[in-house]
Structure 1
Amino acid sequence: MRRNLHISQVLEYSFRDTLLQLGYDGVPAAKPDRLIFDQAVASLGVPQADILFVGDNLKDDYEGARAAGIDFCYYNPGRKPADGDSTPDYTIHALFELEAIISREEEQR
C-alpha cells in the first residue's frame, strides 16, 4: 500500500511539477494543448520515444500525448470503458502494473 501511494503521488504530480521546475508555470496552455507536452518533452532531454505519459483522462491526457507523439498509458482503476476513438498504447488498473510495461519495453531495446 505504501509503495502504491508513493507511486501514485509521483504520477499525480510529476508532470505538473516537472513543468513548474522547468519554469513553465506561465505556459499559456493547458492539457490537451500540444504546446505544454512539447515543452515538457524538450526540457526533459530524453528521446521522445523513451517517454511514456501515464494519465487517467482520455480527453486531456490521451489527446495531448497523442498530439505530441508520446506513447500513452491509460490509468483506469475504475475500469471505465474507453470511447471508440481512444486507443491507448497500454491500459493499467493499478499503478504497480507500470513496472511490467517498463521492463518489457527495456527488454525490447
Structure 2
Amino acid sequence: MNRRILKHPVLDNVDEKNKVTFTFNHKTYEGLENETIAAALLANGIRTLRHHEESGSPRGIYCNIGHCFECRVNVNDQQGYRACLTPIQEGMIVKSSDKLPTPVRDWGAENE
C-alpha cells in the first residue's frame, strides 16, 4: 500500500522513479530521493522512531518541521539527527535511540 501523496494541487508532484534503499533498525526499506527520513519511514508504515530516554515510552513525529526533537534518530552511527529534516540517501543506516541505561542527568539542579 502506497502511503505517499504523489499528486498535490499546491506542492510539486512526487516522482517515484528515483528510489533509494536504506535500513532502519537492521531492516531494509525503500524511500524516494530527497524525501526526509521521517517521510520515508511513515510511507513504510513506521511510526515509532525512538524511545524516551528515561521512561522508554515510544516517540514518533511530533511537529515535523524541526522545532522539537522528538524524531531524533542515529544516522550512520551519529546521534541526534532529526528525521523530519534529514534527507534520505542511498545506503543510509538509520537506527532508533532506546532508553538510556541510567536516568538523564538534571544539569540545572546542580547549579541551584
Band the TM-score falls in, shorter-chain normalisation: under 0.3
Q: Say which structure is richer in helix.
A: 1
> Which of 1 and 2 has higher RCO (CA within 8 Å, sep 6+)?
2
| Length-normalised TM-score, structure 1 | 0.24
Larger CA Rg, structure 1 vs 2:
2
| Length-normalised TM-score, structure 2 | 0.23
